[in-house]
């Protein structure tokens, strides 16, 4: 299957590329320095290529969803009032993350998954492919146009029957799930970043995860906001502080793509050795 050139979420690499261009244009930087910087840039690219080639490929339907997400006229959707913002391929979690999520579903032996943020259905389908036949993935999406688009794109896969989409603001849907005492073996948080902190608190304080369950949160680095002070983005720092302050929780941040938090109850991770 062809590997398309994907949207890079490597913000430091983009900064390095811009710096090299400036150095070359200035004519005042020694060629040996530009060569060293270019060598570092090329190594980053080859590292990304190596990683992409090492990962299992996605399914034919996921390939189609990715293709449509890259080629769609998102500006037209926005201009026609179908979408609240101008979406684009940068909203996709990406192939490596998709396959990581799929692996996690199988490691977790998950039967019920909650996804917050459906978009074009790519990550939902990656995860559903690893669910058993009687498994269920509930995906929350606020935009009706995206719900219809994702349903249309996913329909060719027989795994789609495991996917239920709930339209509406995620916080409202999660509140209802808490009230009806629903449980999920895995939760993938990939919606509006401003909702992350209240959702993380609800998930752990209201016990939305089943025993042994795992919360995964995408965009931990917030496209550079976590480490580029010039962007002045408090959310990734506030989220880190919120997760660190949760009692009896084990958290790690995987530096894959735009950063993925993996958060579990401490009792499911640390063995009592007494």
Ligand X SMILES: C[S@@+](CC[C@H](N)C(=O)[O-])C[C@H]1O[C@@H](n2cnc3c(N)ncnc32)[C@H](O)[C@@H]1O
How remote is the C-alpha of 271 from its chain's centroid? 29
Q: Convert 123-179 into a string of H (helix), E (strand) and C (coil).
A: HHHHHHCCCCCCCEEEEEECCHHHHHHHHHHHCCCHHHHHEEEEECCHHHHHHHHHH
Taking the C-alpha atoms of residue 176 and residue 208, their distance in angstroms, rounded to an integer, is 11
Contact residues toward ligand X (CB under 6 A) are 91-93, 117-120, 122-123, 140-143, 146, 169-170, 190-192, 195
Q: Nearest distance from residue 192's CB to ligand X, in Å?
A: 3
Nearer of residues 209 and 216 to ligand X, judged by Cβ? 216
Asked if 18 and 62 count as a contact pair (C-beta separation under 8 A), the reply is no
Nearer of residues 20 and 217 to ligand X, judged by Cβ? 217
Q: Nearest distance from residue 241's CB to ligand X, in Å?
A: 22
Q: Nearest distance from residue 34's CB to ligand X, in Å?
A: 36
3-state secondary structure of 43: helix
Q: Nearest distance from residue 219's CB to ligand X, in Å?
A: 7
Q: Nearest distance from residue 118's CB to ligand X, in Å?
A: 6
Nearer of residues 78 and 91 to ligand X, judged by Cβ? 91
Nearer of residues 20 and 98 to ligand X, judged by Cβ? 98
Taking the C-alpha atoms of residue 11 and residue 228, their distance in angstroms, rounded to an integer, is 9
CA-closest candidate to residue 143, choices 74, 66, 203: 74
Q: Nearest distance from residue 9's CB to ligand X, in Å?
A: 11
Nearer of residues 182 and 195 to ligand X, judged by Cβ? 195
Nearer of residues 115 and 185 to ligand X, judged by Cβ? 115
Q: Convert 45-106 into a string of H (helix), E (strand) and C (coil).
A: HHHHHHHHHHCCCCCHHHHHHHHHHHHCCHHHHHHCCCCCCCCCHHHCCCHHHHHHHHHHHH
């Amino acid at each position: 299957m062809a590997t398309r050139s994907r949207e890079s979420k490597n913000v430091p690499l983009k900064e390095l590329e811009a710096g090299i261009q400036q150095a070359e244009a200035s004519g005042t930087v020694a060629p040996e320095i530009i060569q060293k910087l270019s060598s570092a840039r090329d190594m980053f690219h080859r590292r990304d290529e190596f990683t992409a080639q090492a990962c299992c490929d996605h399914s034919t339907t996921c390939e189609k969803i990715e293709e449509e997400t890259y080629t769609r006229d998102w500006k037209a959707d926005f201009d026609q009032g179908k979408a609240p913002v101008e979406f684009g391929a940068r909203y996709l979690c990406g192939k490596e993350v998709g396959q990581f999520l799929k692996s996690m579903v199988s490691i977790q032996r998950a039967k019920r998954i909650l996804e917050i943020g459906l978009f074009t259905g790519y990550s939902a389908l990656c995860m559903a492919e690893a669910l058993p036949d009687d498994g269920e993935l509930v995906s929350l999406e606020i935009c009706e146009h995206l719900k219809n688009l994702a349903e249309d794109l996913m329909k060719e896969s027989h795994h789609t029957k495991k996917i239920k989409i709930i339209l509406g603001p995620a916080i409202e849907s999660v509140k209802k799930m808490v009230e009806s005492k629903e449980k999920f073996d895995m939760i993938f948080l990939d919606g509006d970043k401003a909702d992350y902190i209240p959702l993380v608190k609800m998930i752990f304080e209201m016990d939305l995860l089943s025993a042994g369950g795992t919360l995964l949160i995408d965009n931990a680095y917030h496209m550079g906001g976590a480490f580029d002070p010039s962007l002045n983005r408090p959310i990734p720092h506030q989220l880190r502080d919120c997760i660190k302050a949760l009692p009896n929780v084990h958290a790690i941040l995987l530096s894959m793509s735009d950063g993925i938090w993996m958060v579990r109850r401490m009792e499911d991770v640390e063995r009592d050795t007494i």
